[in-house]
Copies of this chain bind each other. A is one copy, B any other.
Amino acid sequence: MKSIFIDEFFDMTSTTTSLKTNPNVSVDCVVFGFDVEGLKVLLIEQRPVGDTLGQLALPGDLVLQNENLDQSAKRVLKELTHLDGLYLKQFQTFGDPDRVSNVKDQEWLRNFRDDPAARVITVAYYSIVKMENYQPEAASFAGKIIWQPVDQVPDLAFDHNKIFDTALTRLREEFELKNIAFELLPEKFTLSQLQRLHEMVLGVDLDKRNFRKKLKMKTGLVALDEKQTGVDHKPAQLFKYKPRKHA
């Protein structure tokens, strides 16, 4: 292995390639969760603190050497929250040199980065899940995990507010085009539940009849021979999605 002084190493790179340097690269995951109360986002405390909650952030960590970006996002999310098997979509990469400036826990930050002098460029992913199917558990080294309503997101570490806002916009755009509601409802669900999902994600009210009219045109929905049970009103017809595959 080459053996040179590290300051020489830096000099060498800076002479041959000017100011080029190796940044840290991370992935961050914006996981939206859906339940009866509405649309929420998964946030973590960067590490355990006492009684008051530490600064919150999106779950994220550095990319490892031999994994691709999609794999990295899956792994990081699983390590931090034990969530697995969800569909994560890459949507944008954030690389402002000072995006690290809003981290209050400087000790945590020094530990997070390989090289304290390096900046961190982050590749951002989003996903949306049904909360009751995906109950996160904090990793031992991490702090608390919370589901925060999307209209009450506090000041986050790094530029994570910007990342979150971008993700929500993109989620809504995608949602109007193709349904990415794979995991958002019980296996068997009613059309009203599906409509409420759309209303919550898009943040609008929809007309029941028009909503159902559009559904009829789209494929992918299968009526079952079953009815809803345990409700104090006329039970609704149950449906399921035609099975689809994800990597």
Known A62-B17, A95-B68, A121-B63; judge A114-B2 contact (CB<8 A): no
Nearest to A115 among chain B residues (CB) is B22
Q: Which residues of A contact B (CB under 8 A)?
A: 1-7, 9-10, 13, 16-25, 62-69, 72, 90, 92-97, 111, 114-115, 118-119, 121, 123
Whether B25 lies near A121 (C-beta < 8 A) is yes
Q: State the Cβ distance, A183 to closest chain B Cβ, in Å.
A: 23
A-B contact pairs, 22 of them (CB 8 A): A1-B7, A1-B10, A2-B7, A13-B114, A13-B115, A17-B62, A19-B64, A19-B65, A20-B63, A22-B25, A23-B63, A65-B97, A65-B119, A66-B97, A68-B95, A68-B97, A69-B93, A69-B96, A90-B92, A90-B93, A93-B93, A121-B123
**Which chain B residues lie closer than 8 Å to A97 at the CB level?**
65-68
**Which chain B residues lie closer than 8 Å to A94 at the CB level?**
69
Whether B5 lies near A3 (C-beta < 8 A) is yes
Whether B3 lies near A63 (C-beta < 8 A) is no
**Which chain B residues lie closer than 8 Å to A19 at the CB level?**
64-66
Nearest to A72 among chain B residues (CB) is B95
**Cβ-neighbour of A22 out of B7, B23, B93, B95 (below 8 A):** B23
